[in-house]
Amino acid sequence: MVTIQDTELKEGIHEAIQKAHKLSTPVLVSEVQKIHQMEPLSFFRAGKESFFGERFFWKDPSDNIFLVGLGICKQIQTDQDSGRFFHVEKEWKRFTENGLIFNKYKEAATGPIMFGGFSFDPQKTKTDLWSKYSDTLFHIPKYLLTVINNETYLTTNVICTQHDNESLVERIVNERLSLLSFIGKPNFSENTLEKKLEINPEEWKQSVTELVQDLKTGSLKKAVLARELRLVFKDTLSIETIVFNLLKEQPRSFIFAFESNGDCFVGASPERLVKKEGEDLFSTCLAGSIARGDTDNLDEELGNQLLTDEKNLSEHQFVVDMIKEAMEQVCTEVHLPERPALMKMRDIQHLYTPVIGKGSKSSSLLQLVNLLHPTPALGGLPKKEAVEKIREVEELDRGFYASPLGWMDYEGNGEFIVAIRSGLIQGREASLFAGCGVVADSNAESEYQETNIKFRPMLSALGGMDK
Ligand SMILES: C=C(O[C@@H]1C=C(C(=O)O)C=C[C@H]1O)C(=O)O
Ligand SMILES: [Mg+2]
């Protein structure tokens, strides 16, 4: 249980109401407490009744950070295309600068943070599939549980207007207490799959074959094509169960869930886009794939095959060159190994090159997201031409699949991943997404098999492996 010092929150709210009156604009109060340990997934579950559709979950591969957000204190969103990264940056600054922040711990990811992302391509015609998500969507939660460096913090964010009064304090203190004292375990019901439908696999293979022809003759060097798997289950899917399974089965990935208006985008991505920690910037080149082996020997053999395969090495090198160049625009130093290593997850292994850069305290995380997205791991090369090609030939509405998703705190620290190995959950239905890098010597059938492997993490977490 927690011992809560409510005085700061009370005084903060009092001050914020006065400030809101003076400025004629709503003012944020953000208060951080250190609390006893609480299971992140239990906290996520605790918000199910009051905040369904307004929750998020995040974990990084090193288990160093867990974030759970409940409720929406403010949204930053736009369906505009041009300048969307800059727009979010500006809104976020304005919002936090005016706020009253009580945070004596100074840990990253405590206090006000925003969580969300940018759709893959705002110029692609939007379908009903993603109607619950704006093209650019960030949530600032009412309650945030942060587990970082094995310490647990609770941030309470409150927006005060000039019309509020101090009865707000009592309501929030009570709500917070009931969330923290929630003891019900998540209800891990098995999901029963009723229907599994691959969306036009033959047409997809045909589009890969046609793209290969283009790559052989034109200026385009690489483009990533993705496809969709549609699943229908017997009952409404439990997001808690999916996240629980992903945590268990994909411990070396980023695990995320992002609810919006009743739908939930969830996944286990191994791919960091960019992380900012003070002046240090980290990115990841991940491209080139092969299956895992059933035995250690076979697994090692497959890994060695991947490390020396020309087609996969070229697919990877496009990503390395582009990320290096983007990082060099912002950093004074950029370091990366000469050759890729292997990154092994439960279902798949990839070629992997980590990139480390030294920026300055003022280099902005969203500026880097803007420069990097989409890398040739999800878009292609040259960037603009590849995105146009995908827009033209891909049947899928990617929405947030393959897009930058992550968090940023009020000091500008944060992390964005590329949201792959993911799916959109809509009641008892789910759409899963998987793509692969097509280069001049790609073969449609093997690219198709590669996407089948990439569906597995989500299929397994959903309980849809056997059909
Ligand atoms: C596009 C996806 O994955 C990307 C494509 C890869 C490839 O083609 O080898 C490897 C890793 C990812 O960057 C996906 O998982 O959907
Ligand atoms: Mg590939």
Q: What is the pLDDT of residues 128-150, one digit of tens each?
A: 999 999 999 999 999 999 999 99
Other beta carbons within 10 angstroms of residue 222's beta carbon come to 25
Entry pTM:
0.97
Is 315 part of any known ligand binding site?
Answer: yes
Could you give the ipTM of this predicted complex? 0.99
Kindly give the number of the ligand 1 atom that is closest to the alpha carbon of 224.
1
| DSSP letter assigned to residue 129 | G
User: How far is Cα 255 from Cα 62, in angstroms, rounded to an integer?
Assistant: 11
- Residue 376 Cα to ligand 2 middle (Å): 11
Kindly give the number of the ligand 1 atom that is closest to the alpha carbon of 436.
8
Which residue has better confidence, 377 or 79? Answer: 377
- Residue 321 Cα to ligand 1 middle (Å): 17
Q: Please give the positions annotated as active site.
A: 222, 271
Indicate whether 227 pLDDT > 50. Answer: yes
Is 450 part of any known ligand binding site?
Answer: yes
Other beta carbons within 10 angstroms of residue 176's beta carbon come to 20
Are the C-beta atoms of 31 and 9 separated by less than 8 Å? yes
Residue 156 beta carbon below 6 angstroms from any ligand 1 atom: no
The position carrying tokens 């947030």 is 400
Condensed to tens digits (0 to 9), the pLDDT of residues 291-312 reads 999 999 999 999 999 999 999 9
Residue 454 beta carbon below 6 angstroms from any ligand 1 atom: yes
**What pLDDT was estimated at residue 362?**
76
Q: Whose CA is nearest to atom 9 of ligand 1?
A: 288
Q: What is the DSSP string of 249-281?
A: H-TTSEEEEEEETTEEEEEEE--EEEEEETTEE
Helix (H) or strand (E) holding 94: helix 84-97
User: How far is Cα 334 from Cα 331, in angstroms, rounded to an integer?
Assistant: 7
Kindly give the number of the ligand 1 atom that is closest to the alpha carbon of 447.
8
Indicate whether 276 pLDDT > 70. Answer: yes
| Burial of 232 per CB tally in 10 Å (0-12, 13-18, 19+) | middle
Amino acid at 117: G
Indicate whether 467 pLDDT > 60. Answer: no
Other beta carbons within 10 angstroms of residue 330's beta carbon come to 19
- Residue 316 Cα to ligand 2 middle (Å): 8
Omega into 112 within 30° of 0, i.e. cis? no
The position carrying tokens 């094509």 is 225
Helix (H) or strand (E) holding 324: helix 310-330
| Burial of 198 per CB tally in 10 Å (0-12, 13-18, 19+) | middle
Residue 10 beta carbon below 6 angstroms from any ligand 1 atom: no
Q: How far is CA 280 from CA 272, 333, 334, 359, in A?
A: 14, 10, 10, 6
Per-residue confidence at 7, pLDDT binned at 50, 70, 90? confident
Name the phi and psi angles at 344, rounded to 5.
Answer: -110, 125
User: How far is Cα 400 from Cα 420, in angstroms, rounded to an integer?
Assistant: 9
Q: Which ligand is nearest to the CA of 378?
A: 1
Indicate whether 4 pLDDT > 60. Answer: no
